[in-house]
């Protein structure tokens, strides 16, 4: 099997971390860079099957199910207490986060 | 606008469907004026382990709207995940449609009503609709201070409410066209009965995109051709919650962009918000800067497959739409373009008009010219409280009024004079202070002029008795 | 021997015959837990007080002669990624430490409705990201057969609890191997039904398109009982099957069992292939036809599964943002972050077609490959894992350890097929497992063959001497 060596740059890694909303410091980014590159090397093996899968449709749903729908009726949900129970911060019935506006 | 400069606008409209329950769970879809976080469940709160199950009615209604907008329908359709992080998005992704929207390649025809015609509006214009798709709404954010600290409060009552998104091609060339489109779209949606489409309440939201094209060679305004060269930027406007503000914001943007372009400056692609107090647009810095949504098909929801039979059933549910009704009113009732337009402004008025015409037909004995035209006239020009007046009652009123109008003043005064002459005793009694004599005299006049407005009779009597 | 050593069927009979009380049964389990769990560390949260209370209620029901509930009074250990009201649910992650879910998983509700009593929640790889239980944020679980060895994963706690007779049975989940592989390493029965057979509602999602709950038990008859109780359409999970066709059991003399040669690899630990083939001989003696065939090399399933799983993981873990529940995202461990990063990368702009979309096409290839096999044989027989239990620390630092060592179970997982692990031998005191894989919805056939094998062997009777 031919192997192509993937070399992710630190910028790429930090960009992915930002997309993934993962707080990574420089060191962690460096470490992950190596591991991710190795994994990407491995999954690139999938390309070897390209001839066999070219004309195949993708399978997103193995059950073959279609039209799994529900009627438009209401059902009891959570009380406000239950909804807020596990929040780190709540206030007057709301969840609280640091301001998203500067 | 300087010669050679042309406004290019595209519209993205979101409409909250008036379903009873949310899009992917059984929570109530009511959220306006509801106590925060009281209509939630593990699904719309995005708790671990929760799974979405789609609302059939929301899908049916989306299909109805797509059909009403002449869209092609994807008979194989599915939902996708749009991944990004924001506090009002509990799962960290929104379930929406990316690859296979329910409707695509539709259109909406704009026709200017003659009396509202302004010089820049073309008589007929086709706005192409790129797509009509279904998605879920996010929670609501509120900004406040707690003990001096700036915070954002989150309410998930709205999270998961079904939203239909209607996206046009950048086919608008004037604000009048935008206005006509929005009003017509709103009308169609209300006729379909799928949403109140109320901008103030947030059940209809618009996000216009606007750019200015500089046609250096000619200043003629043209219809868009499919392969028109569009400007290399566009500005998206957000936070607009009324037709009026939409117009103001767009006017402001047209001026702002034109000024910049005239100075030779380049306009950056950006999102701007509308500040209704200062009447300006301002750049919005949103935390989700990286717009890589990493769309992929929603694995928790199997695809939606519709055969021709199912589509036909949904199509049957579409009531007569405004355009069709307009044409029919002009044809069947010989109404003018303008009159028909007013009467089909909303479904209720049009229905009321037709019921009144039917009631008139049943009563039958109307000699007073064109009853249909009269009914139309009354509904258009007088303030009729259609909720409190049955159509049959309206007809009765019209009959009375018309019969009254048929009596000319000369005839009335002549008859009153006759009656007074023939009833000298009653006249004497009245002049001595006996009020009941008036009633007697009135009765006498009424016998000779049945159906005439009693008030007119009384006035004429009093005038002559004085 | 204590009551904790019984199977479900034995315990159920004993309770009905009043040989012992529900309280006795429960207390023997807790006694055993107190005796060995400080060494094995299979359990995270224990439910002792409430469980004993429930045992008291069971007594009352049994005394009135109401014995219809099939699991009345039977203690169960539940993997900690199933939401349980009243018990913390952490998925063995620091992010969810002390998380108290406000709703039960459907699986939990079904067990409780059947009368089962929850002993406690079992340890796992954090968010199921592993095949050894070493990546639990709360310490690893040890293999009851040798405390220097790992139990496998991610349902390592459940498998160990059953193997050590700390519980009568357990429930786990499999995304690719997480039931079958720890069952193999711990010498117990582990059954993963067809994807869509048992509801995922309330199971903290890993890979939405392959996650399957399933039982870990001491006997095949027990696994069959639990499977039948848990299987069925759930309106809360759109991917559950409504009325799937069940395979009619054939007589063993009519069965054709496939030996896929690509699953008997030279790298597999010495002795394993031989034991599984010896088991095939036993089945042959009972009347089955053993047929050698060729399947797509399971190595391709490694890349395929890795891409699909990590992409779905990256999206499913987006909801852990510390706002509505749980801690902040810096509480993810290294393995979690690696998987989220890889998943995000493969879905990102420019890479989607090369990775996720391509992987879903390879998935079609794998599904088609199995479908071709089912034309030749009814079921497949193969080793579950290429090694027996690994020593503690052996797997650390290898970027794709779990996915590579799960090679033999990944193809059936990604195709959504059912499979069962049965103990079929020992190597140096550590259990060897073999798997029977079948077509979609063929659980009855698999269980039939598995029971035939178990009835004719003694492996399941050996107990870990601890």
Angle, helix B322-333 to helix B175-192, in steps of 10 degrees: 90
> C102 touching B, CB under 8 A?
yes
B113 pLDDT higher than 60: no
Neighbours of B109 (CB within 10 A): 13
Strands C75-79, C117-122: pairing kind: parallel
pLDDT value at residue B405: 53
Of C321, C357, C365, the CB nearest to A52: C365
Asked whether the beta carbons of residue C89 and residue B48 sit closer than 8 angstroms, the reply is: yes
Closest of C55, C110, C58 to residue C82, by C-alpha = C110
Q: Which portions of chain C are predicted below pLDDT 50? A: none
Residue that the structure tokens 């506090």 belong to: B87
Q: What is the DSSP string of B69-82?
A: TT-EE-SEE--EEE
What is the b/e burial string over C175-189, where b = at least 16 CB atoms within 10 angstroms of the residue's CB? Answer: bbbbbbbbbbbbbbb
Model pLDDT for residues C226-248, shown as the tens digit of each residue: 999 999 999 999 999 987 777 77
pLDDT value at residue B286: 55
pLDDT value at residue B290: 46
| CA atoms of B61 and B56, how far apart (whole Å) | 9
Q: What angle do CA B195, B196, B197 make, to 5 degrees?
A: 85
Global ipTM: 0.96
Q: Catalytic site residue C154?
A: yes
Compute the nearest-CA separation of B27 from chain A (Å): 6
- Selecting among C12, C69, C79, C219, the annotated active-site residue is C79
Q: Give me the phi and psi of C302, to 5 degrees please.
A: -65, -55
Q: What angle do CA C434, C437, C441 make, to 5 degrees?
A: 145
B66 pLDDT higher than 70: yes
Complete domains list, chain A, with CATH: 1-55 (1.10.20)
Of A15, A68, A71, the CB nearest to B301: A68
Which of A68-82, B137-151, B183-197, C58-72 has the lowest average pLDDT? C58-72
| CA atoms of C200 and C434, how far apart (whole Å) | 26
| CA atoms of B208 and B237, how far apart (whole Å) | 6
Q: In what order do the strands lie in the sheet with A90-91?
A: A90-91, A94-98, B149-155, B140-146
Model pLDDT for residues B94-110, shown as the tens digit of each residue: 999 999 999 999 999 99
Residue B252's region, left for phi above 0, alpha for psi from -120 to 50, else beta, is alpha
B366 pLDDT higher than 70: no
Q: What is the average pLDDT across B408-434? A: 85
Please state, in angstroms and as integers, the Cα–Cα distance from residue A47 to each residue in A4, A7, B68, C296, C367, following that order.
11, 18, 45, 15, 18
Which of A14-18, B269-273, C418-422 has the lowest average pLDDT? B269-273
| CA atoms of C130 and B111, how far apart (whole Å) | 63
Q: Which two tokens stand for residue C41?
A: 């560390």
Contacts of C282 (CB under 8 A, 6+ apart): C453, C456, C457
| Nearest residue of B to residue C95, measured between CA atoms | B48
Model pLDDT for residues B7-43, shown as the tens digit of each residue: 999 999 999 999 999 999 999 999 989 999 999 999 9
pLDDT value at residue B363: 64
Q: What is the average pLDDT across B47-57? A: 98
Across C283-378, where does the E strand assignment appear?
289-293
Higher pLDDT, B381 or C371: C371
- In this prediction, residue B111 has a pLDDT band, given cuts at 50, 70 and 90, of confident
How deeply is B196 buried, as exposed, middle or buried, from its count of CB atoms within 10 A (0-12, 13-18, 19+)?
Answer: middle
| CA atoms of C348 and A20, how far apart (whole Å) | 10
pLDDT value at residue B397: 80
Q: Contact at 8 Å (CB) between C155 and C178?
A: yes
Q: What is the DSSP string of B402-418?
A: HHHHHS-HHHHHHHHHH
Q: What is the average pLDDT across B151-174? A: 96
Mean pLDDT estimate for chain B: 87
Beta bridge partners of C292: C259
Of C83, C238, C317, the CB nearest to B49: C83
Complete domains list, chain C, with CATH: 3-298+361-461 (3.90.1300.10)
Q: Which two tokens stand for residue C143?
A: 């293999």
Asked whether the beta carbons of residue A56 and residue C415 sit closer than 8 angstroms, the reply is: no
* Residue in C108, C121, C235, C318 to test binding to B, most B beta-carbons within 10 Å: C318
pLDDT value at residue B232: 82
> B50 touching C, CB under 8 A?
yes
Q: What is the average pLDDT across B284-296? A: 72
B412 pLDDT higher than 90: no
Residue that the structure tokens 């003990």 belong to: B147
Chains in contact with A, counting 3 or more C-beta pairs less than 8 Å apart as contact: B, C
Asked whether the beta carbons of residue B46 and residue C319 sit closer than 8 angstroms, the reply is: yes
B221 pLDDT higher than 60: no
Contact list, A53 vs chain C (CB under 8 Å): 358, 361-362, 364-365
pLDDT value at residue B268: 84
Q: Which two tokens stand for residue B58?
A: 């929301």
pLDDT value at residue A36: 92
């Amino acid at each position: 099997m031919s192997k192509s060596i993937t070399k992710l740059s630190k910028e790429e890694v930090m960009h992915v971390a930002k997309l993934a909303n993962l707080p990574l410091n420089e060191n962690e980014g460096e470490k992950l860079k190596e591991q991710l590159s190795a994994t990407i090397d491995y999954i690139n093996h999938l390309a070897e099957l390209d001839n066999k899968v070219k004309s195949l449709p993708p399978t997103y749903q193995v059950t073959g199910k279609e039209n799994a729908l529900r009627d438009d009726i209401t059902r009891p949900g959570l009380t406000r207490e239950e909804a807020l129970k596990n929040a780190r911060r709540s206030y007057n019935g709301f969840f609280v986060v640091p301001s998203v506006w500067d | 606008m300087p010669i050679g400069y042309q406004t290019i606008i595209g519209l993205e409209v979101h409409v909250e469907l008036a379903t009873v329950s949310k899009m992917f769970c059984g929570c109530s879809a009511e959220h306006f004026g509801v106590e925060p976080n009281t209509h939630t469940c593990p699904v719309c709160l995005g708790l671990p382990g929760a799974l979405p199950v789609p609302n059939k009615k929301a899908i049916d209604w989306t299909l109805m709207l797509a059909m009403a907008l002449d869209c092609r329908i994807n008979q194989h359709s599915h939902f996708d995940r749009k991944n990004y992080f924001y506090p009002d998005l509990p799962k960290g992704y929104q379930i929406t449609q990316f690859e296979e929207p329910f409707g695509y390649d539709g259109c909406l025809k704009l026709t200017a009503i003659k009396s509202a015609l302004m010089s820049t509006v073309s008589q007929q214009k086709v706005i192409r609709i790129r797509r009509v798709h279904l998605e879920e709404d996010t929670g609501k954010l509120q900004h406040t201070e707690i003990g001096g600290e700036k915070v954002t409060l989150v309410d998930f009552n709205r999270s998961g409410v079904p939203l239909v998104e209607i996206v046009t091609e950048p086919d608008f060339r004037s604000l009048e066209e935008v206005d006509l489109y929005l009003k017509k779209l709103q009308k169609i949606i209300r006729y379909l009965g799928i949403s109140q489409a109320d901008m103030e309440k947030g059940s209809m939201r618009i996000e216009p995109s606007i750019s200015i094209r500089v046609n250096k060679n000619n200043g003629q305004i043209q219809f868009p051709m499919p392969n028109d060269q569009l400007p290399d930027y566009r500005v998206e406007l957000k936070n607009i919650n009324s037709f009026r503000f939409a117009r103001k914001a767009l006017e402001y943007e047209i001026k702002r962009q034109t000024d910049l372009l005239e100075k030779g400056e380049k306009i950056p692609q950006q999102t701007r918000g509308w500040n209704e107090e200062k009447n300006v647009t301002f750049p919005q810095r949103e935390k989700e800067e990286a717009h890589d949504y990493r769309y992929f098909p929603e694995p928790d929801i199997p695809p939606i497959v519709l055969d021709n039979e199912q589509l036909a059933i949904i199509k049957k549910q579409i009531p007569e739409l405004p355009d069709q009704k307009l044409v029919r009113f002009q044809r069947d009732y010989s109404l003018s373009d303008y009159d028909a337009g007013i009467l089909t402004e909303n479904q209720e008025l049009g229905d009321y008009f037709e019921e009144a015409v039917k009631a008139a037909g049943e009563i039958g004995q109307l000699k007073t010219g064109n009853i249909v035209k009269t009914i139309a006239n009354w509904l258009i020009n007088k303030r009729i409280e259609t909720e409190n007046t049955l159509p049959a009652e309206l007809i009765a009123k019209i009959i009375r009024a018309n019969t009254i109008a048929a009596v000319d003043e000369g005839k009335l005064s002549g008859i009153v004079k006759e009656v007074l002459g023939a009833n000298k005793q009653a006249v004497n009694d009245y002049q001595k202070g006996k009020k009941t004599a008036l009633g007697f005299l009135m009765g006498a006049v009424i016998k000779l002029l049945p159906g005439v407005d009693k008030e007119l009779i009384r006035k004429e009597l009093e005038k002559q008795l004085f | 021997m204590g009551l904790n050593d019984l199977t479900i069927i034995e315990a159920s009979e004993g309770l009905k015959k009043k040989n012992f009380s529900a309280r006795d049964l429960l207390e023997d389990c807790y006694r055993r837990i107190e005796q060995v769990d400080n060494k094995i560390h299979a359990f995270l949260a224990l439910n002792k007080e409430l469980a004993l209370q429930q045992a008291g209620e069971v007594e009352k029901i049994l005394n009135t002669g109401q014995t219809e509930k099939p699991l009345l009074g039977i203690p169960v250990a539940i993997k900690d990624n199933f939401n349980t009201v009243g018990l913390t649910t952490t998925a063995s992650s620091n992010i969810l430490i002390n998380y108290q879910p406000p709703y039960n998983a459907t699986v939990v509700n079904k067990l409780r409705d059947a009368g089962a009593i929850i002993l406690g929640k079992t340890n796992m790889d954090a968010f199921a990201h592993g095949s050894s239980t070493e990546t639990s944020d709360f310490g690893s679980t040890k293999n009851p057969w040798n405390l220097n060895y790992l139990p496998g994963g991610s349902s390592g706690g459940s498998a160990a609890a059953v193997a050590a007779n700390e519980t009568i049975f357990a429930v786990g989940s499999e995304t690719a191997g997480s039931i079958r592989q720890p069952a193999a390493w711990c010498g117990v029965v582990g059954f993963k039904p067809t994807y869509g057979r048992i509801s995922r509602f309330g199971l903290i999602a890993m890979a939405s398109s392959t996650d399957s709950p399933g039982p870990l038990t001491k006997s095949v008859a027990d696994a069959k009982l639990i499977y039948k109780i848990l299987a069925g359409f759930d309106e809360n999970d759109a991917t559950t099957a409504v009325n799937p066709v069940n395979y009619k059991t054939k007589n063993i003399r009519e069965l054709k069992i496939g030996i896929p040669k690509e699953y008997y690899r030279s790298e597999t630990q010495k002795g394993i292939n031989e034991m599984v083939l010896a088991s095939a001989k036993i089945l042959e003696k009972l009347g089955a036809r053993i047929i050698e065939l060729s399947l797509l090399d399971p190595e391709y399933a490694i890349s395929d599964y890795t891409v699909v799983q990590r992409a779905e993981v990256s999206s499913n873990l987006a909801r852990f943002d510390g706002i509505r529940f749980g801690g902040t995202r810096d509480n993810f461990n290294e393995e979690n972050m690696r998987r989220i990063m890889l998943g995000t990368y493969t879905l990102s702009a420019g890479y989607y077609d090369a990775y996720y979309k391509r992987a879903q096409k390879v998935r079609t290839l794998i599904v088609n490959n199995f479908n071709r096999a089912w034309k030749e044989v009814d079921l497949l027989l193969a080793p579950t894992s290429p090694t027996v239990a690994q020593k503690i620390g052996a797997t650390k630092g290898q970027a794709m350890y779990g996915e590579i060592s799960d090679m033999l179970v990944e193809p059936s997982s990604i195709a959504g097929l059912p499979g069962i692990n049965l103990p079929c031998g020992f190597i140096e005191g550590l259990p060897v497992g073999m798997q029977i894989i079948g077509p979609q919805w063929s659980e009855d056939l698999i269980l039939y063959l598995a029971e035939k094998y178990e009835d004719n062997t003694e492996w399941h009777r050996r107990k870990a001497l601890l």
